[in-house]
């Protein structure tokens, strides 16, 4: 029996029912253990330059999200100068390896280049025309090649249930969200269109405001197809709260995408460099607890979300070497399925076991 005096780990071991995760002789990747896509976000240049990382990406995952190369600041860094090279490369890579490509993200306050924000601030009519033109240009170009899009990313404030104050909201009001969805649907009627945000699993007020927005979009016949839970979550977030949050979202009838999954031990205030280093070393006890939490995530997704609404589970990077968590929050942590040497952690075997138990 594993011994621990940490209360969080104690709850995870004994309250959640940890099972021992061991390697399997089964050579199948994670994608072959699921009837919905299992995905990862990638930096394509970094992936192509590392043969082991490339091999793992293709073996384990059936869906790809570009970390940055499909965001506005990369596609249109300056006025009238579309840069398609990186995005085209991601599209080609996904097609060559028969992987679903998910587009992230058309409208995002942090992904809007400065020159666009400057124009939006002084000319709301320009903002409206530009929004339609940009979305139509991007989505039309990749029609039939990109399966779905985060149309609007992080529309809510970090905490609570209010819309985030952004250049888009200030210029166009809440209708910018409706407009973005209509433009995306017109450009590709077959694409699955998502509203995506973070902390929905652990902030009931934020979730309530988010779902109020979704309800209003549905009433207004806005072509929204799905809800994205980023799921950058923590070991101390109760599974009961996650389950309740997923159930509420699934009650909308929309697709549910766990779109940016990683799982940390330390805490932060959601701001850059806002990490709190509570854990300095990754112990065997922590590894087992993380495995149990990842395993339970699959069970929660299956329990809360009907089969026809499961769009998939996507990890925001699959190894601790490349995780965004450490440089962004300025903390040391171990949030992914593979370690810095690209070896599978207990977390990998826990998640895998969750898939095997829920599909077999």
- Kindly report, residue by residue over 89-103, the tens digit of the pLDDT: 999 999 999 999 999
> Is residue 349 within 8 Å of 295, Cβ to Cβ?
no
Known catalytic residue at 308: no
Q: Residues 263-291: what's their mean pLDDT?
A: 97
176-214 residue pLDDT tens: 999 999 999 999 999 999 999 999 999 999 999 999 999
Return the CATH architecture of domain 30-359. Answer: Alpha-Beta Barrel (3.20)
Asked whether residue 15 carries a pLDDT value surpassing 60, the answer given is: no
**What pTM was estimated for this model as a whole?**
0.93
pLDDT tens per residue across span 151-163: 999 999 999 999 9
Task: Select which of 60, 67, 154, 346 is catalytic.
Answer: 154
Single out the catalytic residue among 67, 260, 346, 353: 260
User: What residue spans define the domains of the chain?
Assistant: 30-359
79 in catalytic set: no
Q: Kindly state the average pLDDT of the residues 329-357.
A: 98
Question: 171 pLDDT band (50/70/90 cuts)?
Answer: very high
């Amino acid at each position: 029996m594993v011994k621990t005096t940490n209360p969080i780990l104690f709850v995870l071991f004994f309250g959640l029912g940890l099972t021992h995760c061991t390697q399997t002789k089964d050579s199948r990747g994670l994608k072959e253990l699921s009837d919905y896509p299992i995905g990862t976000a990638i930096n394509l240049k970094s992936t192509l330059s590392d043969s082991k990382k490339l091999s793992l990406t293709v073996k384990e995952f059936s869906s790809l999200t570009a970390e940055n190369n499909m965001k506005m600041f990369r596609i249109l860094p300056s006025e009238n100068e579309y840069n398609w090279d990186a995005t085209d490369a991601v599209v080609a890579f996904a097609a060559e390896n028969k992987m679903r490509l998910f587009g992230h993200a058309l409208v995002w306050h942090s992904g809007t280049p400065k020159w666009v924000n400057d124009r939006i601030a002084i000319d709301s009519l320009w903002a409206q025309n530009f929004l339609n033109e940009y979305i139509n240009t991007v989505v039309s170009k990749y029609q039939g090649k990109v399966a779905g899009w985060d149309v609007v990313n992080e529309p809510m404030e970090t905490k609570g249930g209010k819309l985030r104050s952004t250049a888009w909201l200030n210029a166009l009001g809440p209708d910018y969200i409706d407009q973005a969805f209509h433009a995306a649907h017109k450009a590709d009627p077959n694409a699955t269109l998502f509203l995506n945000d973070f902390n929905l699993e652990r902030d009931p007020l934020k979730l309530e405001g988010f779902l109020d927005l979704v309800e209003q979009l549905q009433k207004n016949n806005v072509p929204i197809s799905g809800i994205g839970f980023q799921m950058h979550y923590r070991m101390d977030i109760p599974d009961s709260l996650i389950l309740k949050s997923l159930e509420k979202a699934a009650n909308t009838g929309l697709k549910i995408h766990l779109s940016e999954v990683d799982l940390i031990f330390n805490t932060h205030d959601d701001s850059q460099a806002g990490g709190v280093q509570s854990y300095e070393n990754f112990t065997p006890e922590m590894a087992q607890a993380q495995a149990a939490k990842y395993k339970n995530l699959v069970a929660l997704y299956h329990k809360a979300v009907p089969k026809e609404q499961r769009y998939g589970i996507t990890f925001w990077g699959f190894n601790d070497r490349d995780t965004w968590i450490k440089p962004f929050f300025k903390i040391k942590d171990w949030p992914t399925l593979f370690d810095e040497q690209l070896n599978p952690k207990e977390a990998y075997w826990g998640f895998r076991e969750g898939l095997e138990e829920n599909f077999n």
